Amino acid sequence: MKIRVGHLYPDYLNIYADRGNIAVLARRAAWRGHELDVESVSMGDALRPGAHDLLYVGGGQDREQALVAVDLAAKAAAVHEAAADGAAVLAVCGGYQLLGRFYRDRDGVELPGIGLLPLVTIAGERRMIGDVLLDCDWAGRTLAGFENHAGRTVLDAGAEPLGRVIHGFGNDGESGFEGCRAGRVIGTYLHGPLLPRNPWFADWVLAQALAHAGGGEPPQLEPLADELESEAHAVAADRARERGGRF
Ligand code: GLN
């Protein structure tokens, strides 16, 4: 099957190799006989609802977020329509923050978000940097990655986090939770990139996109020989255990 991906602002929001997540999805899709068709959707580009099975956006510094926020706000209706139609959405760090209602940066400037996820973010003084390990009880799995953000994200009451923080700061260094999950829409602070060291989650994202592409339920993807990926996960988890969540 062809999986159509809309990569939002790859030329502005791409730090910590966030672009690598697309490479992992493309490879894991190809190993199952599927093809990833990636379209870059950036400044001034139209976003056609229904044109993508997966929307992806990476992270970036406050400066880049300020450059894209107004353009993304103009695409808000199309992103909402795509998500309501069942497309999957994966947003990392700066992109995650702009899926909320707003991001207030360190200078107190409020960048509009698109309100797709029930949350707001306000930058604090100290950056939260380091390795992270999460418990995703909804999947019975752990996620390991790297965070670097000044933003403190607060989820609305009743909102689902992506995971519980075992080691690291997470959304705000206090709530004990990281990320936000609303059906097939996922936001997370985890860079690294995230997907090479978390193959189960890469397959979960792929399965959501395939469900939209094929119109059915998320398929059970045949397992792959993920020794190297599992090792990378273990190394990242050890680093998080040793030093995650400390200023
Ligand atoms: N600029 C945002 C912050 O500092 C996001 C950073 C990022 O994407 N790593 O919180």
Predicted confidence (pLDDT) per residue in 177-189, tens digit: 999 999 999 999 9
Distance 137 CA to ligand 1 centre (A): 26
Taking CA atoms only, the protein residue closest to ligand 1 atom 3 is: 149
Q: How confident is the model at residue 102 (pLDDT cuts 50, 70, 90)?
A: very high
Contact 197, 226 (CB under 8 A): no
| Closest ligand 1 atom number to CA of residue 95 | 8
| Closest ligand 1 atom number to CA of residue 121 | 10
Mean pLDDT of 232-245: 91
Distance 189 CA to ligand 1 centre (A): 8
- Nearest CA among 201, 148, 200 for reference residue 173: 148
Q: Please choose from 65, 67, 128, 188 the residue to mutate so as to test ligand 1's pocket, defined by most ligand atoms within 8 A of CB.
A: 65
246 pLDDT above the threshold of 90: no
- Nearest CA among 202, 229, 230, 233 for reference residue 32: 202
* The pLDDT of residue 100: 98
**β-sheet with 180-182: strand ranges across:** 35-41, 2-8, 54-57, 88-92, 185-188, 180-182
Q: Give the active site residues.
A: 93, 191
Long-range interactions of 229-237: CB distance < 8 A, separation 24+: 229/196, 229/197, 229/198, 229/199, 230/199, 232/196, 232/197, 233/142, 233/144, 233/197, 233/198, 233/199, 235/197, 236/131, 236/133, 236/144, 236/145, 236/146, 236/192, 236/197, 237/133, 237/142, 237/144
